[in-house]
């Protein structure tokens, strides 16, 4: 009988250890993923600020309002040579490992940034009538503000 109790206790201890190891590994993976996303989001927000995208769009709006035009085929961003979404594209299927609030803000952040990129790389945006181009660009400035806000919220939840 004591041998049976020993076997049961040993089995129980093995289960507890396996569960503990799995929990620890999952937590480490979650922390690593959160840090990787935080780094990528910080980098994107820094690039937006450093390159002065908001100022550039505002100057373009002022140009349109003064009667200026842009050459056909012009876009807000010329050819993007790099993929700035490596972390997200490599780990989108693991986003559920992030804390609940973080995964929500991270998802929203990437939707917003990709939406802005669609406008910024589409020559049809600036080829519209000046009134329509101004409307689109002003909307993009609002989206940029929302992007920065959501990015800050994501970073807060990724800590």
Domain residue extents for the chain: 31-157
Residue 117 pLDDT greater than 70, yes or no: yes
| Predicted local distance difference test score (pLDDT) of residue 81 | 72
| Predicted local distance difference test score (pLDDT) of residue 20 | 60
Please count the CA atoms within 13 angstroms of the CA of 85 that sit on its side-chain side. 13
Each residue's pLDDT tens digit, 39-96: 999 999 999 999 888 998 999 899 989 988 888 888 887 666 788 899 999 999 999 8
pLDDT, mean of residues 136-141: 94
Residue 2 pLDDT greater than 70, yes or no: yes
* Burial of 102: CB neighbours in 10 Å, binned 0-12, 13-18, 19+: buried
């Amino acid at each position: 009988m004591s041998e049976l109790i020993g076997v049961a206790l040993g089995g129980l201890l093995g289960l507890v250890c396996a569960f503990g190891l799995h929990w620890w590994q999952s937590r480490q993976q979650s922390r690593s993923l959160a840090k990787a996303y935080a780094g990528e989001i910080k980098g994107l927000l820094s690039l937006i600020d450093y390159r002065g995208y908001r100022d550039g769009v505002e100057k373009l709006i002022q140009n349109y309002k003064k009667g200026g035009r842009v050459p056909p085929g012009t876009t807000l961003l010329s050819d993007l040579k790099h993929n700035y979404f490596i972390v997200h594209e490599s780990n989108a299927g693991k986003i559920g490992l992030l804390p609940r609030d973080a995964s929500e803000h991270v998802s929203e952040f990437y939707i917003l940034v990709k939406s802005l990129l669609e406008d910024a790389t589409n020559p049809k945006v600036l080829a519209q009538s000046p009134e329509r181009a101004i409307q689109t660009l002003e909307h993009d400035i609002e989206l940029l503000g929302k992007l920065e806000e959501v990015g800050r919220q994501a970073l807060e939840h990724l800590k």
